[in-house]
């Protein structure tokens, strides 16, 4: 059984040349085994934060530290030299799945082993019988073992996202970073993916840090939510307390991005000023 890794971010700032930094002095701690949502309107810095945690991006020089478990992923704006090895503990689930469409579902799942196998095996995609059995069990755990030998490109969006989750399981990731994993999915597929992530968190103890665009999924599946606005943390607390009025206070007229249709309508009915600004 996997053991979740702690996440610690200290004073992280990331700029892309604009006057407003994408991240501004962000400090966050996530305990091992937590499932935490990251929310924010478009341009709030969610994707930038997750990519900094995984070491895909380096922060501004002299900017803080990112630590996953005992590994310092980056410090003072410099990504660790052994980042490929360190990233073995970090499963990253992308909005657009990041699968190789021409390869089978099974092979895509097995690529989760690449950071842990010898270079010659990673280049030739040579896997043992035991590793294939593990991959099949991971597919079974997300409910698509019957699709193991189909080309990944033939799957629906929801099925492809399940493949990505199975890949993180085979990777033996201790923390899963999910960058808006349900943004491209229909409502039923979105619920299925979130339920799988919640079950993995619950049953395997894997830490899950998931960015979401609609707050109702954070309330339903994540006990804790961190909210970003213009690169700064503006809320860190129980998801259940993220009411429409509080979100309106945090995000103003951008609040409709974070609420489903019913909640957005209720917010407008209960707040004539908000309704006028949205008109």
What's the pLDDT tens digit per position in 160-202?
A: 999 999 999 999 999 999 999 999 899 999 999 999 999 999 9
Domain assignments of the chain as residue spans, ordered by start: 7-242, 245-279
Give the pLDDT mean for 231-248: 94
- Please tell me the CATH code under which domain 7-242 is placed: 3.40.50.300
Least-confidence region, from 110-119, 187-196, 225-234: 110-119
Torsion, Cα 107 109 114 116, to 10 degrees, reads: -130
Q: Which band of pLDDT confidence, cut at 50, 70 and 90, is reported for residue 269?
A: very low
Q: Smallest Cα–Cα separation from 63: which of 71, 75, 47? A: 75
How far is Cα 137 from Cα 143, in angstroms, rounded to an integer?
A: 10
Task: Specify burial of residue 157 (Cβ count, 10 A radius: 0-12, 13-18, 19+).
Answer: middle
Residue 273 or residue 223, greater confidence: 223
SS3 for 26? strand
Task: Look at residue 267 and tell me whether its pLDDT is greater than 50.
Answer: no
Q: Which band of pLDDT confidence, cut at 50, 70 and 90, is reported for residue 268?
A: very low
- For residues 195 and 202, the answer to whether their CB atoms sit within 8 Å is no
């Amino acid at each position: 059984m996997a053991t979740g890794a702690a996440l610690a971010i200290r004073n992280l700032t990331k700029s892309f040349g604009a006057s407003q930094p994408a991240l501004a002095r962000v400090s966050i701690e996530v305990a091992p085994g937590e499932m935490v949502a990251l929310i924010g309107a478009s341009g709030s810095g969610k994707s930038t934060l997750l990519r900094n945690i995984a070491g895909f991006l380096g922060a501004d020089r002299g900017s803080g530290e990112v630590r996953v478990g005992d590994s310092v992923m980056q410090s003072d704006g410099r990504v660790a030299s052994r980042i490929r090895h360190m990233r073995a503990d970090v499963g990253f689930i992308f909005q657009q799945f990041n699968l190789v469409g021409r390869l089978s579902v099974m092979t895509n799942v097995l690529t989760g082993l690449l950071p842990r196998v010898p270079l010659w095996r990673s280049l030739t995609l040579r896997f043992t019988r035991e590793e294939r059995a593990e991959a099949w069990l991971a597919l079974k755990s997300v409910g698509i073992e019957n699709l193991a030998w189909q080309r990944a490109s033939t799957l629906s969006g929801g099925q492809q996202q399940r493949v990505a989750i199975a890949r993180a399981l085979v990777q033996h990731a201790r923390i899963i970073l999910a960058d808006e994993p349900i943004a491209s999915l229909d409502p039923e597929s979105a619920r299925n993916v979130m339920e799988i992530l919640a079950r993995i968190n619950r049953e395997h103890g894997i830490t899950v840090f998931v960015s979401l665009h609609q707050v109702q999924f954070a309330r339903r599946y994540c006990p804790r939510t961190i909210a970003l606005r213009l690169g700064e943390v503006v809320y860190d607390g129980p998801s259940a307390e993220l009411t429409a009025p509080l979100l309106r206070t945090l995000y103003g007229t951008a609040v409709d991005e974070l609420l489903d249709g019913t909640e957005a309508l209720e917010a407008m009915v209960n707040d004539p000023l908000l309704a006028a600004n949205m008109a």
